[in-house]
Amino acid sequence: MTFYIIDTTLNPAQEKQFQNYPEVVNYLEGMSQRAYQMNRKQRTILLEEMGHGADDLNATLFVRSMQDQFNIGILREGRRMRCDLSELITFQKPEYGD
């Protein structure tokens, strides 16, 4: 599965592609630094203080907050599809079947 991010924190905006979710989370941390001057931990603490639930090991809260502000999703048949990456990763586990 190929993930994409349209990074508008760069000038000019660029499309970045990744083959796994941890790479996406790492890249989003850099985007958070450029966009909000906050690393992942600082942004997550801010979101939790604003009333969002606690983050988890998949960085669900952090990734969803970035998806609200930026064009992030997967590439399917050469087309961009915005989707909830955290939920997608959860349901890719073997216990959910094919």
**What's the chain's average pLDDT?**
87
Q: What is the pLDDT of residues 41-75, one digit of tens each?
A: 888 888 888 766 666 667 888 889 999 999 999 99
pLDDT of 98 > 70? The answer is no
Q: Phi-psi region for residue 51, left (φ > 0), alpha (ψ -120 to 50) or beta?
A: left
DSSP label of 55: P
Exposed e or buried b for every residue in 30-68, given b needs 16+ CB within 10 A? ebbeebeeeebeebbeebeeeeeeebeebbbbbbbbbbe
Task: Note the pTM of the prediction, 2 decimals.
Answer: 0.83
Summarize the confidence of residues 17-41 as an average pLDDT.
Answer: 94
pLDDT at 55: 64
pLDDT at 27: 97
